[in-house]
Amino acid sequence: MTVPRTLSLWIPVVLWAGLIFGLSSIASLNTGTQYDYVLRKTGHVTEFAILAMLLWRALRDELPAFFAAVLYAASDEVHQAFVRGRHGSPVDIGIDSVGIAIGLLLLRRL
C-alpha cells in the first residue's frame, strides 16, 4: 500500500509539531549545568529550523513555510504559559524565528 503524497508530505510536519508540543508540556527541562540557558535556546533554534524545513517540503514555498512556523512558535509560547513551571516568552518567538530563518536558508544553500 502506498501512502498518498499529501500524507507523506504532512505526516512529518504533524509528528514534528507534536514532538515540539510534547517537549513544551514538560514542566522543567533543566540540564542542571551552567550551560542550561544556551542549551535550551539552541534547542529552540534547532527544533524550529527542522519544522521550517518540513513545512517548506510540504508547501514548496518559503514565505508560507516561514509564517506557518512563526505562527506555530507563537502558539507554542501560549501553550507554555499554561504549563506549570514554564512561561511563554515573546523573546522565545524571536529565537524560534531565527531558527526558522536558518532552516530555510540552509535549504536554499542545499
Query: What pLDDT does 36 receive?
Result: 82
Cβ atoms 96, 76 nearer than 8 A? yes
Cβ neighbours of residue 95 under 8 Å, at least 6 residues apart? 41, 44, 45
Answer yes or no: pTM beyond 0.85.
Answer: yes
Statement: residue 82 has pLDDT above 90: yes
What are the pLDDT digits (tens) for 88-106?
Answer: 899 999 999 999 999 999 9
- Spatial distance between the Cα atoms of 17 and 69, rounded to a whole number of angstroms: 9
Mean pLDDT of 12-33: 90
Statement: residue 37 has pLDDT above 90: no
DSSP string, 18-71: HHHHHHHTSS----SSTTHHHHHHHHHHHHHHHHHHHHHHHH--HHHHHHHHHH
Statement: residue 29 has pLDDT above 80: no
